[in-house]
């Protein structure tokens, strides 16, 4: 504001206009800065989204690959074990399990020495960290081989499906994981088909049934506890395999000696047959590969998935088993039950491995370990 000489009052608008221009420029700069920040955020968001998509795709490939690897390994060792124990009439499945333990110790020990694999050194608390896995591991191996020896492969495959229900219940109790309704329907259908097949077993063997049911319980426990130990222990998958075999070698050797299986195996008359020796060694090495593939599949998927992939390979084992070993007696009711179980297995595979946007459809329960299922 200024005063003229004549006494008139006039307004000086220059300062006000200057302040207005400065305010407009500041507002434009702020708006431009916000726009730049928004574009940067959008760019970083798209990059993060793309990175997540690549990670999800890589994880999906690992899930599928580990499941296929486990299925192929489980199929190969089942056929080889059946050939050694039944076709060649090898007298001791306990000695064969000892050979598989030895192969795991030698292969992993050499792998660590050559720095191909890595796991923590043996410590005083190592056994406590992985307990009860060594006991479950040895029992699962021995009783599984015993069931393979005493039962035909189609019936062995049908009875092994009971391990699926056990695994599902143990995952609910120990890990707090509830499977979806579609998974539950497929599991119950598999159990129904297995019961139908077992109801018309024309070559019934009580000892074989007991072996397989013990194996089912141990398989379910092994899958759940492996998942738990891998999540909470620093030993890792190689350490679990190595120390499971190492801790159980002497008990397995003592059991072979006490039962007389060691003498029977060493005095077996086919050791000069190169084909038999090759298959025996292959069975021992495949035991290690199966242990590795089991832990790998459980790590990338779940214990229930590992169990059902093992039963999916029984589709091939079931039909080949009608010709391998020569101890299968065909019946229509048994065949119908097996095919129901196979179709249910395929349903579970579709439900589990189809690609979803949601990373995990399993519900984590708060605390249901004291409740009845």
For the CA atoms of 339, 345, 351, 353, the dihedral, rounded to the nearest 10 degrees, stands at: -130
Residue 335 lies in a domain: yes
Per-residue pLDDT of the chain (373 residues; tens, 9 = 90+): 444 444 444 445 455 444 555 555 555 555 555 555 555 555 555 666 677 777 778 888 888 888 889 988 888 888 898 889 988 999 999 999 999 999 999 999 999 999 888 999 999 889 988 888 899 989 998 999 999 888 888 888 878 878 878 888 887 887 788 888 888 898 899 889 888 888 887 777 889 989 999 999 998 888 778 877 776 677 888 888 899 999 999 999 999 999 999 999 999 999 999 999 999 999 999 878 887 888 788 888 877 777 667 767 777 787 787 777 677 788 888 888 878 888 887 787 778 666 443 444 444 433 333 333 3
Overall number of domains in the chain: 1
Residue 266 lies in a domain: yes
Residue 43 lies in a domain: no
Token pair listed for 136: 């479950």
What Rg, from alpha-carbon coordinates, does the chain have? 32
Q: Cα–Cα distance between 195 and 204 in angstroms, integer?
A: 14
Token pair listed for 230: 């891998």
Per the CB < 8 A criterion, the answer to whether 160 and 212 are in contact is yes
Residues of the domain holding 183: 65-356
Residue 8 lies in a domain: no
Residue 31 lies in a domain: no
Residue 108 lies in a domain: yes
Considering only CA atoms, which of 177, 175, 178, 184 is closest in space to residue 227?
175
Residue 178 DSSP class: E
Q: Cα–Cα distance between 222 and 132 in angstroms, integer?
A: 9
Residue 268 DSSP class: -
Considering only CA atoms, which of 121, 104, 125 is closest in space to residue 246?
104
């Amino acid at each position: 504001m200024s005063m003229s000489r004549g006494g008139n009052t006039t307004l000086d608008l220059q300062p006000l206009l200057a302040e207005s221009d400065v305010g407009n420029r500041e507002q434009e700069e702020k708006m431009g800065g916000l726009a730049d920040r928004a574009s940067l955020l959008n760019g970083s968001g798209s990059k993060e989204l793309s990175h997540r998509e690549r990670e999800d795709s890589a994880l999906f490939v690992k899930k599928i690959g580990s499941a296929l690897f486990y299925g192929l390994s489980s199929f190969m060792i089942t056929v080889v074990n059946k050939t050694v124990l039944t076709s060649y009439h090898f007298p001791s499945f306990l000695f064969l399990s000892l050979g598989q333990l030895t192969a795991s110790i030698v292969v992993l020990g050499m792998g660590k020495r050559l720095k191909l694999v890595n796991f923590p050194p043996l410590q005083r608390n190592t056994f406590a960290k992985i307990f009860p896995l060594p006991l479950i591991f040895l029992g699962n191996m021995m009783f599984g081989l015993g069931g393979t020896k005493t039962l035909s492969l189609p019936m062995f495959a049908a009875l092994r499906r009971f391990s699926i229900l056990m695994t599902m219940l143990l995952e609910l109790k120990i890990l707090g994981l509830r499977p979806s309704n579609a998974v539950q329907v497929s599991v119950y259908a598999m159990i129904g088909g297995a019961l139908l097949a077992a109801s018309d077993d024309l070559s019934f063997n009580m000892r074989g049934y007991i072996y397989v049911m013990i194996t089912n319980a141990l398989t379910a426990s092994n899958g759940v506890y492996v998942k738990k130990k891998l999540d909470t222990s620093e030993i890792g998958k190689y350490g679990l395999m190595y120390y499971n075999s190492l801790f159980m070698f002497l008990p397995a050797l003592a059991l072979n000696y006490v039962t007389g299986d060691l003498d029977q195996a060493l005095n077996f008359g086919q050791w000069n047959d190169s084909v038999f020796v090759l298959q025996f060694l292959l069975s021992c090495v495949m035991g290690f590969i199966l242990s590795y593939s089991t832990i790998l599949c459980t790590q990338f998927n779940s214990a229930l998935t590992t169990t059902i992939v093992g039963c999916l390979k029984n589709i091939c084992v079931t039909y080949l088993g009608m010709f391998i070993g020569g101890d299968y007696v065909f019946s229509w009711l048994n065949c119908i039950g097996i095919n129901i179980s196979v179709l249910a297995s395929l349903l579970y595979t579709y439900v589990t491995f189809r690609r979803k946007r949601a990373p995990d459809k399993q519900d984590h329960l708060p605390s249901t370990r004291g409740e009845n299922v």
